Structure 1
């Protein structure tokens, strides 16, 4: 998973206010419910030392997603009296939270983006008789996205309407268009729903490589809900899966580990590699426990298990911070990726591994 969407956060020096808030619109008086939740978080931030100007910036952002239907949430970050990042959450946070701290609390936002699977969703609607030569129509709605974030932030949308009489021919042209779209967005899957006959015509005319990525599914297929196209079906298709890009990184790690290539395993070894800006991708079996803390300095690569280690590197007045906050900052600051891989797919020493950009001098490559 690439973390470039977090880069604006780390151009600020902090301290940061990090707010996670349920802003669902699935009940009566939703605005009042959101306001009450925010009031409690505002009081918490005040106790932690946030000033009125910062609270005012946050208050303006809270509930700005009011037009988005259904269940969802917001992740809002502010620093230096300005809003830095306002992200939609595809599902409400496990609990509303607010933190005023040296580093932004980004791991809950990152985990809501996982497994970050790129896809195309295609709905084929048909009206008329397949044998009609002049009557009837086929309508195709297609949308790109990255699951699950696109649930509340849908991507590019295509609308295509053709006569039944020309559908066989038009499906070939549309198939090439979808293929180019899937290549451009690196789609792992094409989720197809709607009418069986018209959908079969389209699928059979897709280029072979794209046809192999098709997942057929049923269920209701509304196309104008303000949410992702085929939202319910996407969850059943992708839940429990990893993105192909992440699976490729895991396979590279497995190969390097077996052959003694540029890879590291265990927390201490991974931190040493992060300190050198050596990590291409950090692999975790699960996000760090809330109790795990690291010592940090002002630079992203300044993180260690002990205060003494950072002092030996010349860092003045190191600070102890939650490990997840320090790790995400290091990954963003060194343009490294994050891969969360289930333990039953790849067990890692201390739950941590790293793909390296280069081998240490004297280490077999």
Structure 2
């Protein structure tokens, strides 16, 4: 999972204020609901010593609607100077809360972002299409969902059964359907190239959906799924259609995770291209070798829970002890929660993060990594290394 949206936090001045808020609005007193959730969170931050000016800035943000319908959450991260990150979360937190300290509380945001999919909903009929962006975490306070209408421009879209002209009109109508589908597909190809959504969902007139999908270029076609039940017109069973979209998004999330986990298992099986155990992961993070960090989904059973690491000023400067950090030439060291230090190091090398469910992959200490590259000095799953813990060694039958 891409974490580029967290990169603005690197190098920012501490302390950090991290707020996780239920941003759902229901009923008529929408703003009052969010304000009521924010008030106790603010009081707890004030007791912890957070800056009043930063809290005022956060308050101004969180009381403005996100532009997202239905239950959802919001994460806001501020440094000593003000808000740096403001993102929508696909699911609201079980309880609104906040953390104030020397580092941002990143892991819950990363875990929630794993559920987020940026997708383009395309509702087509025989004259054109409506395009709606689901922004995948971006707050849309200015005007709700971003939409675009594409009109095909070919208006002979109905077959006529009048004697003598039926065949000619039928041909003209079918030709118009194809030309309109090509016009929609051309816009889709352009938008996909410009904005790189995770997924394109196409729905509407069955015949036209097929024509649009056939006219798409390779890049857009590979991202496209068809979902039945939607329409540009009235009469849609919105609840049933939303459920089908939800199923399509969940299938996409599962595929996205499985691509990484398959690669991890394959590399682990051949003893090259993946590592596990905290010490080995730290080693490859320091060397900038990590393509994707793999974390156990349940932090309470993982080996990094309640652990701290030592870090330097730069994201890739991390170790299990001050002495280990000094041994690589870092004199300015401080302790940091392990999950924050690990995500920070992943961000520092443009690595992603993937969460693994129980039993899906073999993770020692609840952590592993898929590597960009390896050499003879890279920790290996095939043989013991100086950095590896004895827990890594498995009996091969």
Q: Could you say which TM-score interval applies, normalised by the shorter chain?
A: 0.7 to 0.9
Partner of 2:188: 178
8 Å contact kept, 1:118–1:185: no
> Tell me, which stretches of 5 or more residues in structure 2 are unaligned?
158-172, 235-240, 381-397
Q: For 1:1-365, list aligned pairs within 5 A.
A: 1-65=1-65, 68-117=68-117, 119-125=119-125, 138-143=127-132, 149=137, 157-162=147-152, 163=155, 164=157, 165=173, 166-179=176-189, 181-182=191-192, 189-206=199-216, 214-219=224-229, 221=231, 232-239=243-250, 241-242=252-253, 247-286=258-297, 288-289=299-300, 291-297=305-311, 298-310=313-325, 312-313=327-328, 318-362=333-377
Deviation of the 1:303 alpha carbon: 3.1
**Deviation, structure 1 residue 41:** 0.8
Aligned partners of 2:379, 2:98: CA distance in 1, in Å?
A: 46
Shift of 1:159: 1.6
Partner Cα separation in structure 2 for residue 173 and residue 222 of structure 1: 16
| 1:32-85 Cα distance to aligned partner (Å, 9 max, x none) | 221122110111111212132222222222222265443322211112232212
Instruction: State the TM-score, normalizing by the size of structure 1.
Output: 0.80
SS of the equivalent of 1:346 reads coil
Q: Please state how far the C-alpha of 1:277 moved relative to its aligned partner.
A: 2.6
For residue 165 of structure 2, what is the aligned residue in structure 1?
Answer: none
CA contact (8 A) 1:75 1:109 kept: yes
**C-alpha separation in 1, matches of 2:214 and 2:374:** 47
- SS in structure 2 of the partner of residue 296 of structure 1: strand
After superposition, the Cα gap between the structure-2 partners of 1:70 and 1:221, relative to the gap in structure 1 and judged at 3 Å, is farther
Q: CA RMSD in A?
A: 3.5
Hey, what's the Cα distance between the residues in 1 that align with 2:197 and 2:85? 26
What SS is found at the alignment partner of 2:151? strand
* Distance apart, 1:237 and its partner CA: 0.9
- Distance 1:310-1:25 versus aligned 2 partners, 3 A rule: same
Residues 74 and 214 of structure 1, relative CA distance in 2, 3 Å threshold:
closer
**8 Å Cα contact 2:13/2:81 also seen in 1:** no
TM-score (norm 2): 0.74
Q: SS of the counterpart of 1:21?
A: strand
Taking structure 1 as reference, are residues 68 and 18 closer, same or farther at Cα in structure 2, changes over 3 Å only?
Answer: same
Contact 1:260 1:364 in 2 (8 A): no
The 1:246–1:72 alpha-carbon spacing in structure 2 relative to 1, beyond 3 Å, is closer
Measured after TM superposition, the shift of residue 316 of structure 1 is: 5.6
Give 3-state SS (helix, strand or coil) of 1:193's partner: strand
Cα deviation, 1:227-284, whole Å, max 9, x if unaligned, reads: xxx7554321121543766544434333332333232112221122212333222112
| Equivalent pair of 1:188/1:213 in contact (CA under 8 Å) | yes
Aligned to 1:131: none
Larger-gyration structure (1/2)? 2
**Contact 1:72-1:152 at 8 Å conserved across structures:** no
Which stretch of the first structure deviates more once superposed, 49-58 or 286-295? 286-295
